[in-house]
């Protein structure tokens, strides 16, 4: 049986238990599921069914589910509004701090203040601290539930402490060694801790070279660190190396998804995350880019009208305008995608700015040459005019080379200036390529007008 069909049947059976008020049987089945599956079932319920679910499950059980399901789901604010404020506060108390912060960041300040006032003082203080960090930094995505020990205790006492804290910690595969002032001194993996002799001191088994990130580091840089070192978690410290929290690999997966969506949104010139918006809201978000590109496109139309006399004398030139502009636009978009990707995965070993530009220009020259030769042969054979084919081929070569240069140079320049290179979107590069292609095409054509006037 198809897995999705089987899951739908299980959802339907569980929903029937919910309607029939069979609480004990519902809980036995629901809590036996993986938390991800619980979340998917939750999303299928209507408001009335969710209200009944809240009476069946404790805030802790709902918190476990909310820790795993997509925290930026478009209806999260509505879900919280359905619950009583006390229920929400108790749920937030049970969630890991980083996930609770993600949830609260979607609410207005009045709602956040209301829930914080109802939470346990200790948990509310931690969340307030994390809410104060700038968005998309290490501080904004770190968790404060970690296990730390001091270096003058024995392995036996450290294991006993780990057993006590394991239930509350988000991850226990790394145990961090700190001083009395909470300064990060080292790290021990769970494996090393288990195999060490019970009477050995932590100072003798810890790894003193610790890879950490600063609380103000960009989340994308943190993701690169975890990727490069293949970590399950990385410690977050302040400027004085005091341990503030940890960032786990599951949070980094979310960061990678967010960054990929952001890059794709930039390339497409539209917010790809806004898939559930109403047509009116979606239109209002897309219109600014479209209007901007419309005016840029008008400059292309104005440029074409400037060569109206040329087109009247040789109307055949009009046939190939869209061919040249379209091909150049595609080449520019390809170059843009490669440049943005290269910048996203770049490190200190990458070649210099000018070398990258040179490589892309050479790539454009090669692809432009091949494309130009092909179109030269096709047009020459088709129109029985190899001079016209030569003009189209040379224009194609130049247009593709320039488009490749623009597609790589613009995002790299923006990155150098401190802007998001993905903002150099595909539609923008395409429209810019149209403008330059038309300029190149008609200037080359004007040099050979005598060969195809009247065609």
pLDDT, tens digit, 9 for 90 and up, residues 229-278: 999 999 999 999 999 999 999 888 877 777 665 655 555 555 555 555 56
pLDDT of residue 149: 93
CA distance 448 to 277: 53
pLDDT of residue 53: 94
pLDDT of residue 282: 64
3-class SS letters over the chain: CCHHHHHHHHHHHHHHHHHCCCHHHHHHHHCCCCHHHHHHHHHHCCHHHHHHHHHHCCHHHHHHHHHHCCCCCCCHHHHHHHCCHHHHHHHHHHCCHHHHHHHHCCCCHHHHHHHHHHCCHHHHHHHHHHHCCCCCEHHHHCECCCCEEECCCEHHHHHHHHHHHCCCCCCCCEEEEECCCCEEEEEEEHHHHHHCCCCCEHHHHCECCCCCEECCCEHHHHHHHHHHHCCCEEEEECCCCEEEEEEEHHHHHHHHHHHHHHHHHHHHCCCCCCCCCCHHHHHHHHHHHHHHHHHHHHHHHHHHHHCHHHHHHCCHHHHCHHHHHHHHHHHHHHHHHHHHHHHHCCCCCCCCHHHHHHHHHHHHHHHHHHHHHHHHHHHHHHHCCHHHHHHHHHHHHHHHHHHHHHHHHHHHHHHHCCCCHHHCCHHHHHHHHHHHHHHHHHHHHHCCHHHCCCC
CA distance 349 to 355: 13
| Residues forming a β-bridge with 243 | 237
Query: What's the pTM?
Result: 0.66
Please, are residues 133 and 140 in contact by the beta-carbon 8 Å criterion? Answer: yes
Model pLDDT for residues 156-184, shown as the tens digit of each residue: 999 999 999 888 888 889 999 999 899 99
Is the domain defined by 3-141 classed in CATH 1.25.60.10? yes
Residue 174, φ and ψ in degrees, nearest 5: -125, 135
Is pLDDT at 217 greater than 70 in this prediction? yes
Place 48 in a pLDDT band, splitting at 50, 70 and 90.
very high
Place 336 in a pLDDT band, splitting at 50, 70 and 90.
confident
pLDDT of residue 298: 82
Is pLDDT at 212 greater than 90 in this prediction? yes
Range among 54-68, 258-272, 279-293, 295-309 with highest mean pLDDT value: 54-68
CATH superfamily of 279-451: SLC41 divalent cation transporters, integral membrane domain (1.10.357.20)
Q: Show the CA angle centred on residue 74, arms to residues 68 and 142, nearest 5°.
A: 45
Residue length of the chain: 455
Residues 6+ apart with CB under 8 A from 34: none
Q: Tell me what the mean pLDDT of segment 347-375 comes to.
A: 81
pLDDT of residue 350: 53
Is pLDDT at 70 greater than 80 in this prediction? no
CA distance 395 to 441: 5
Place 73 in a pLDDT band, splitting at 50, 70 and 90.
low
Q: Tell me what the mean pLDDT of segment 13-34 comes to.
A: 92
pLDDT of residue 220: 85
Place 437 in a pLDDT band, splitting at 50, 70 and 90.
very high
Tell me, yes or no, if the two domains 3-141 and 148-249 fold the same way. no
The lowest-confidence range among 129-133, 153-157, 221-225, 264-268 is: 264-268
Is pLDDT at 46 greater than 70 in this prediction? yes
Fold of 148-249: CBS-domain (3.10.580)
What are the domain boundaries of the chain? Answer: 3-141, 148-249, 279-451
Q: State the residue for tokens 């150098």.
A: 416
CA distance 204 to 332: 57
Residues 6+ apart with CB under 8 A from 15: 44, 45, 49
pLDDT of residue 346: 61
pLDDT of residue 434: 87
Model pLDDT for residues 78-128, shown as the tens digit of each residue: 899 999 999 999 999 999 998 899 899 888 889 999 999 999 998 899 899
- Which has more pLDDT, 272 or 296? 296
pLDDT of residue 376: 93
Q: Tell me what the mean pLDDT of segment 366-395 comes to.
A: 92
Is pLDDT at 429 greater than 70 in this prediction? yes
Percentage of the chain beyond pLDDT 90 is 47
Residue 321, φ and ψ in degrees, nearest 5: -60, -55
Instruction: Report the chain's mean pLDDT, rounded to a whole number.
Output: 85
Q: What tokens appear for 104 in the block?
A: 């609260």
Q: Tell me what the mean pLDDT of segment 389-406 comes to.
A: 92
Place 51 in a pLDDT band, splitting at 50, 70 and 90.
very high
CA distance 31 to 398: 64
């Amino acid at each position: 049986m198809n897995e999705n069909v089987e899951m739908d049947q299980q959802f339907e059976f569980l929903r029937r238990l919910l309607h029939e008020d069979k609480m004990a049987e519902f809980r036995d089945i629901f809590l036996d599921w993986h938390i991800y599956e619980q979340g998917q079932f939750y999303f299928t319920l209507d408001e009335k069914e969710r209200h009944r679910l809240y009476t069946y499950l404790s805030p802790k059980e709902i918190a476990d589910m909310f820790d795993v399901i997509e925290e930026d789901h478009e209806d999260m604010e509505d879900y919280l509004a359905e619950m009583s404020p006390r229920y929400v506060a108790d749920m937030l108390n049970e969630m890991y701090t980083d996930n609770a912060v993600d949830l609260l960041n979607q609410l207005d300040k009045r709602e956040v203040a209301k829930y914080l006032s109802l939470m346990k003082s200790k948990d509310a203080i931690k969340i307030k601290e994390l809410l104060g960090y700038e968005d998309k930094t290490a501080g904004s995505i770190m968790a404060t539930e970690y296990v730390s020990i001091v270096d003058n205790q024995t392995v036996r006492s450290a294991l006993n402490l780990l057993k006590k804290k394991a239930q509350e910690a988000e991850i226990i595969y790394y145990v961090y060694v700190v001083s009395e002032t909470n300064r990060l001194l080292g790290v021990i993996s769970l494996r090393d801790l288990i195999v060490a002799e019970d009477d050995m001191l932590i100072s003798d088994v810890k790894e003193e070279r610790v890879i950490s990130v600063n609380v103000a580091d960009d989340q994308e840089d943190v993701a690169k660190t975890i990727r490069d070192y293949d970590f399950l978690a990385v410690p977050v410290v302040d400027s004085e190396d005091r341990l503030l929290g940890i960032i786990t690999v599951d949070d980094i997966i979310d960061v990678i998804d967010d960054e990929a969506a952001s890059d794709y949104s930039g390339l497409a010139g539209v917010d790809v995350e806004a898939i559930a918006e109403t047509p009116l809201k979606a239109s209002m978000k897309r219109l600014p880019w479209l209007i901007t590109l419309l005016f840029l496109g008008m400059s292309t139309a104005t440029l074409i009208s400037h060569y109206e006399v040329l087109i009247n004398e040789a109307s055949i030139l009009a046939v190939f305008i869209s061919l040249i502009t379209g091909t150049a636009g595609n080449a520019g978009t390809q170059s843009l995608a490669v440049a943005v990707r290269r910048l996203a995965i770049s490190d200190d070993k990458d070649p210099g700015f000018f070398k990258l530009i040179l490589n892309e220009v050479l790539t454009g020259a090669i692809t432009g040459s091949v494309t130009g030769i092909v179109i030269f042969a096709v047009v020459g054979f088709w129109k029985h005019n190899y001079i016209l084919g030569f003009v189209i081929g040379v224009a194609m070569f130049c247009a593709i080379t320039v488009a490749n240069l623009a597609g790589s140079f613009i995002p790299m320049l923006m990155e150098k200036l401190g802007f998001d290179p993905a903002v150099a979107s595909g539609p923008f590069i395409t429209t810019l390529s149209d403008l330059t292609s038309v300029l190149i095409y008609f200037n080359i054509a004007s040099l050979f007008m005598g060969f195809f006037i009247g065609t």
